[in-house]
Amino acid sequence: MDKPTPLAEALDRYLAGAGLKKRVQQAAILEEWAALVGPQIAAVTMPQSITPDGVMRVHVATAPWATELGLMSPRILARLNQGRSGRVKEIRWVPGPLDRPQP
């Protein structure tokens, strides 16, 4: 009789077979945003979405911050993509209000 397959392994195989592993990893970037970019950037940004082809849309509190973050994009992309197959290829920094849920 075969040994039972650990759930994490079975889920990983299912996601890979269904072609969803990349999208799940991209979605994790949205959840882990604050930890990946740090508290200063997280305070003035709100990630919105990532398209299947790797374009991420992030709302930014002000236009000057959007400009600054645009210059920092290569370093931010390197952090976001480290150890992931679901990669972000481009970040679109969109100035405007941050629609954060109120505590």
54-89 pLDDT per residue, tens:
999 999 999 999 999 999 999 999 999 998 777 899
The verdict on residue 103 lying in a domain is no
The verdict on residue 102 lying in a domain is no
Q: Find the domain containing 49 and state its range.
A: 7-95
The verdict on residue 71 lying in a domain is yes
The per-residue pLDDT for 103 is 46
Number of domains in the chain: 1
- Of 34-43, 60-69, 74-83, 93-102, the one with minimum mean pLDDT is 93-102
- Of 14-18, 30-34, 59-63, 81-85, the one with minimum mean pLDDT is 14-18
The verdict on residue 1 lying in a domain is no
Percent of the chain clearing pLDDT 90 (strictly above) = 52
The verdict on residue 101 lying in a domain is no
The per-residue pLDDT for 85 is 72
What is each CA distance from 60 to 17, 28, 46, 66, 95, in whole angstroms?
A: 36, 20, 7, 6, 5
The verdict on residue 55 lying in a domain is yes
The verdict on residue 68 lying in a domain is yes
3-state secondary structure of 37: helix
